[in-house]
């Protein structure tokens, strides 16, 4: 189902861009080419934002796990020190 969704979104973006290009070339709209191509760069921007969100979440999870492991190791060492006479 995920692949179907990706294909549907890609097709919608391509169709919207094609419609805007045709309208621009037929002089029906007088927009800048930047806005005509906006669906393409907006999709790329969404990919970059999604990738950054993944990287930040992954880094936070690793940091939290490392902090938890270090705290557990410290507690274990303190308990070992207390047991020794």
Q: Output the tens digit of pLDDT for each of the chain's 85 residues.
A: 688 988 999 999 999 999 999 999 999 999 999 999 999 998 889 889 999 999 999 999 888 887 776 666 666 656 666 666 5
- Do the beta carbons of residue 20 and residue 29 sit within 8 Å? yes
Token pair recorded at residue 62: 């690793």
Task: Give strand ranges (E) for the chain.
Answer: none
Q: Report d(CA 57, CA 61) in Å as an integer.
A: 6
Output the CA angle 26-29-31, nearest 5 degrees. 120
- Do the beta carbons of residue 24 and residue 36 sit within 8 Å? yes
Say whether pTM exceeds 0.75: no
Q: Report d(CA 85, CA 76) in Å as an integer.
A: 16
H or E segment to which residue 33 belongs: helix 33-36
């Amino acid at each position: 189902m995920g692949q179907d969704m990706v294909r549907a979104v890609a097709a919608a973006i391509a169709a919207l861009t094609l419609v805007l290009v045709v309208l621009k070339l037929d002089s029906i709209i007088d927009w800048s080419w930047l806005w005509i191509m906006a669906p393409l760069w907006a999709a790329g921007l969404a990919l970059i934002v999604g990738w950054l969100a993944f990287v930040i979440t992954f880094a936070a999870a690793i940091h939290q796990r490392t902090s938890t492991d270090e705290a557990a190791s410290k507690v274990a060492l303190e308990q070992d020190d207390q047991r020794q006479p």
